[in-house]
Amino acid sequence: MSNDDLAEQSDDFAKVHQYFQKQLEQLEQTRPAVLPKIAVLVDRDKRPADHHVLIRGLHHQPGGMVLPGVPAKFVLGDNHYEIDDTDLPTSSGRRLALARWVTSPENPLFARTMVNRIWMHHFGSGLVSTPANLGLSGAAPSHRELLDYLATRFRDTGWSIKELHRAILESSVYRQQSAPRDAGLQRDPDNRLLWRFPLRRLSAEAVRDAMLAISGLLDEQMYGPYIPTQRRGDGLVAVADDHTGSRRRSIFLQQRRTQVHSMPELFDAPAMLTSCPQRSTSTVPLQSLAMLNSEFVRDCARAFGLRLDEQVETDAERRIEQSFMIAMGRLPAAEERRVAEEFLAEQRELYADVENSEQLVWADYCQMLLAGTATLYIE
């Protein structure tokens, strides 16, 4: 019999039941928010199940039992795969043994691979141009001694990634200009010898983030839940403008295999279906069309123009200088200044009979800056 049934049969019970119901409702209002949940994988059995070689790959024809280990070819010096589960009451110690073997100072493969990946993220290409294959079938290192030196330094500094970043960023090769030189182009057109800093386009996520930052729309809130995306009627996947946090950094956007945000996807964001050790960089007409017609880009351009209104009132020359400083971190060259002035003059003629013509003129100008190679590429 339920509490409600008892309350119907007994007035005394009904009064007590009603009193406690009110108390529970008041306590529910003060209950703290539910803590977020994360999924973790842990060992719960010190003796995992045995594993057998499957004859001809058939699960119902087990062969001899096999134990965990690593390829003998990769074992150097005294760096053997050894399981020590003495202090692990609920774990087999197999994963810990693998982690210790991988990060052993006697294992050069881990240090070289890690250094090559970090170098690749700074320069667009690693010292070994095949980051997923540092073996004989992969590409040869362009600077073998440099790779070995950085790997040794990485190991000797206690695997400090911050120290490795600092070493790369303070190097003369990183601080070079991107401008080409005839002698370098003749001897090394692919720039494998790093005689100049490689010209690189912003990554897919950074393209969107840069436009938000330049326009002043970027929401710098950190942490919190992801921002959901939605498929619009025109087939594009985007974030609803009225959704809280719609202008946050792209790292907070929802990631779904079947619903990829259209702007990052257009600029070569990797697919979630496969591993992506190195991103590709394509140049296709759809990218330019998106920069010209995307409502997101137009919103950023309008906001950029309003930002110039707040910082510089009516002086067109100072506005051009300020726009270049915001978008590119430098003043315009003489030719860029001339082209900008001509563009503004042409747009003023185009919008001569339109209300708010000056705002439209500067919005168009700002959109051209956002879509330009000087904004989208790292020099």
User: What is residue 225's predicted lDDT score, i.e. its pLDDT?
Assistant: 86
User: What is residue 358's predicted lDDT score, i.e. its pLDDT?
Assistant: 86
362 CB burial (10 A radius; 0-12, 13-18, 19+)? buried
Output the six-digit token pair for 97: 């043994």
DSSP result, 50-94: PEEEEGGG-TTSEEEEE-----GGG--TT-------TT-TT--SH
* Residue type at position 340: A
DSSP result, 111-149: HHHHHHHHHHHHHSS-SSS-TT--STTSPPPSSHHHHHH
- pTM for the model stands at 0.74
Output the six-digit token pair for 311: 């910082």
Q: What are phi and psi of 244, to 5 degrees?
A: -60, 125
Q: Would you say 263 and 269 are in contact if contact means Cβ atoms under 8 Å apart?
A: no
User: What is residue 213's predicted lDDT score, i.e. its pLDDT?
Assistant: 93
Which residues share a beta bridge with 66? 51
Packing angle, helices 285-293 and 357-371, rounded to 10: 160
Domain limits, the chain: 1-27, 76-104, 108-187, 293-378
User: What is residue 195's predicted lDDT score, i.e. its pLDDT?
Assistant: 92
Rg (CA), the chain: 30
- How far apart (Å, rounded) are the C-alpha atoms in residues 79 and 331? 56
User: What is residue 313's predicted lDDT score, i.e. its pLDDT?
Assistant: 74
List per-residue pLDDT tens for the chain, 379 residues long: 677 777 777 777 788 888 888 888 888 888 888 888 888 877 777 788 888 999 998 989 999 998 888 888 888 888 888 888 777 777 888 888 898 898 888 888 889 999 999 999 999 899 999 998 888 888 899 999 999 999 999 999 989 999 999 999 999 999 998 888 999 899 999 898 999 998 888 888 889 999 999 999 999 988 888 888 888 877 788 888 778 888 899 888 888 888 888 888 888 788 777 888 888 888 888 888 888 888 889 999 999 999 988 888 778 888 899 999 999 888 999 999 999 999 999 998 888 888 888 889 999 999 999 998 888 888 7
* Residue type at position 93: G
Query: Coil, strand, or helix at residue 201?
Result: strand
User: What is residue 298's predicted lDDT score, i.e. its pLDDT?
Assistant: 92
User: What is residue 1's predicted lDDT score, i.e. its pLDDT?
Assistant: 67
Of the CA atoms within 13 Å of residue 186, those in its CB half-sphere come to 3
User: What is residue 293's predicted lDDT score, i.e. its pLDDT?
Assistant: 87
Query: Coil, strand, or helix at residue 253?
Result: strand
CA distances from 4 to 10, 23, 24, 79 (A): 10, 17, 16, 70
User: What is residue 44's predicted lDDT score, i.e. its pLDDT?
Assistant: 75
Q: What is the dihedral of CA 236, 241, 246, 249, to 10 degrees?
A: 60
What does the buried/exposed string (b/e) look like for 265-289 if buried means 16 or more CB atoms within 10 Å of the residue's CB? ebbbbbeeeeeeebeeeeeeeebee
- How far apart (Å, rounded) are the C-alpha atoms in residues 305 and 323? 9
User: What is residue 314's predicted lDDT score, i.e. its pLDDT?
Assistant: 75
Q: Would you say 328 and 265 are in contact if contact means Cβ atoms under 8 Å apart?
A: no
User: What is residue 151's predicted lDDT score, i.e. its pLDDT?
Assistant: 94
**Residues sharing a CB contact under 8 Å with residue 274, sequence separation 6 or more, in sequence order:** none
Q: For residue 271, which of 258, 253, 283 has the smallest C-alpha distance? A: 258
